[in-house]
Amino acid sequence: MISSLGDLRRTHYSKEVNPDLNGEEVLIMGWTHEIRDLGGIIFVLLRDRDGIVQVTAPSKKIEKELFEDLRKIKKESIIAVRGNVQESPKAPNGVEVLPTSLIVLNESKQPLPLDPTEKVRAEIDTRLDSRFLDLRKPAVSSIFKIKSRMLHSVRVFLEENGYLEVNTPKLVASATEGGTELFPITYFEREAFLGQSPQLYKQTMMSAGFDKVYEIAPIFRAEEHDTLRHLNEVISIDMESSFMSHEDVMDVLEKMVVQSISDVKKHCAADLEVLDIDLEIPEIPFKRLDYDDVIDMVNAQGVPLEHGEDLSRAAEKALGEMMEGYYFITGWPTEIKPFYVMADEETPEKSYAFDLMYKDLEISSGAMREHRYDILVEKIKSKGLNPESFERYLAAFDYGMPPHAGWGVGAERFNMTITGLNNIRETVLFPRDRRRLTP
């Protein structure tokens, strides 16, 4: 056995080994998913990113030394197998490979901390501790193939609609969403924070004349709670548009959701099947519920919620039982929304803020923003914040700021609505929560 690659070149991925190749020689590479040694015949299942190929070795048809080498392979080792494709209706893809040579490129230690074949089920913490092994499971890697496609289609949609991708700083000097949710860091001789939202920067880009921007980047929230829907680092899909109202950007958002889901359905059929998901394309327009009606609906279900309160978890759950699919909540009280949200011109207690919900899960918040300097300063003060800490942000409003609106979608929560997963940790490669900072 040798362990260097030398001139070895993989000829096919597992899913490309199909009956059309009957009789041809292939060189396949991957992990030893399983070995079944039946004495006179050995079956090795070789797994790569896209699937599994069966290597079938009957002792009578192959060299003795090769047969013995196959018998000694350890599970999850990396192997390269050269052999001939043969039709076999019972094997995965309807083919098997009769080996002519084997190279063990990297031997896996035993026993494994986690079983990628999922014969032994593991708890989420054990899985996350050995995430590289967990991610080898087809049902786990499919979540990330779907996430990759989802983000790709979001980008395509926004680009097609004239949005420019921007990158704003993640090391910041002040809060945007609320002071208690910030992670402080040491920035040379000063205190700084990890960005909790690109909010102030994406708005500043409106004053810069960029008209329509988006950013897909991490946001950091020092939220203490340990729930199935919150993490301390997530990916936010943010957009901001000039000369648009909250209504306009809600239209953009629902179109983006539908296009992205349609695209995932079209391009991730195999992954959706692995996860046993029958993805429905939602219809637009999504329902719009007014906050006042939400209060009544929730109260009618016996869940107490006062006017002016944010939705409690119990309220979200009650709502989730009454509502199917995606829907907006509009008309939020100005009081509980951040300072940058514009108040309703006729009923200033209400605002031009909205949330996009999926059943009981909030996946996006957005609003038309306050673009008038004096009113914005007053709003900052009314939230108990000091306008001086927003000096640089505010300056952008003093020299020609167009009316604008935008939203932020939590990429993981959006992924949860597609995959039906109920623990957000499943949708992040290496999640960061209250207790977890490694791997």
Q: Which residues are catalytic?
A: 221, 223, 229-230, 362, 365, 413
Exposed (0-12), middle (13-18) or buried (19+): which is 401, by Cβ within 10 Å?
Answer: buried
CB distance 221 to 176 below 8 Å: no
**Straight-line distance from the first to the last Cα atom of the chain, in angstroms, rounded to the nearest whole number:** 33
Residue closer to ligand AMO (CB basis): 80 or 353: 353
Considering the complex, what minimum distance in angstroms separates the CB of residue 356 from ligand AMO? 7
Residue closer to ligand AMO (CB basis): 160 or 226: 226
Q: How many beta carbons lie within 10 A of that of residue 296, not counting itself? A: 12
Residue closer to ligand AMO (CB basis): 46 or 341: 341
Considering the complex, what minimum distance in angstroms separates the CB of residue 221 from ligand AMO? 4
Considering the complex, what minimum distance in angstroms separates the CB of residue 295 from ligand AMO? 19
- The DSSP secondary-structure symbol of 343 reads B
The residue sitting closest to ligand AMO, measured at its beta carbon, is 410
Considering the complex, what minimum distance in angstroms separates the CB of residue 396 from ligand AMO? 16
The pair of structure tokens assigned to 280 is: 């429905």
CB distance 91 to 121 below 8 Å: no
Residue closer to ligand AMO (CB basis): 120 or 437: 437
Helices (H) and strands (E) in the chain, counts: 12, 16
203 CB-near residues (< 8 Å, 6+ apart): 240, 340, 369, 393, 396, 404, 406
The pair of structure tokens assigned to 338 is: 């951040």
CA distance 326 to 397: 34
Residue closer to ligand AMO (CB basis): 56 or 427: 427
Considering the complex, what minimum distance in angstroms separates the CB of residue 385 from ligand AMO? 15
Residue 295's nearest CA partner among 287, 286, 304 is: 304
Considering the complex, what minimum distance in angstroms separates the CB of residue 395 from ligand AMO? 20
CA distance 9 to 80: 9
Considering the complex, what minimum distance in angstroms separates the CB of residue 231 from ligand AMO? 5
CA distance 375 to 394: 11
**Strand-pair partners of 237:** 216, 409
Q: Which residues bind ligand AMO (CB under 6 A)?
A: 177, 197, 199, 221, 223, 230-231, 234, 236, 238, 362-367, 406-408, 410, 412-413, 424
Considering the complex, what minimum distance in angstroms separates the CB of residue 73 from ligand AMO? 42
**Strand-pair partners of 405:** 241, 368
* Strand 78-87 to 190-194 pairing: unpaired
Residue closer to ligand AMO (CB basis): 51 or 406: 406
**Strand-pair partners of 219:** 234
Considering the complex, what minimum distance in angstroms separates the CB of residue 237 from ligand AMO? 9
CA distance 18 to 4: 28
The pair of structure tokens assigned to 399 is: 């020299």
Residue closer to ligand AMO (CB basis): 290 or 362: 362
Sheet architecture: strand order including 212-220: 164-165, 212-220, 233-242, 404-410, 361-368, 353-358, 326-330, 287-290
CA distance 206 to 301: 43
Residue closer to ligand AMO (CB basis): 238 or 316: 238
Residue closer to ligand AMO (CB basis): 106 or 423: 423
The pair of structure tokens assigned to 26 is: 């292939």
CA distance 395 to 350: 27
**Cα angle 62, 63, 67; round to 5:** 80
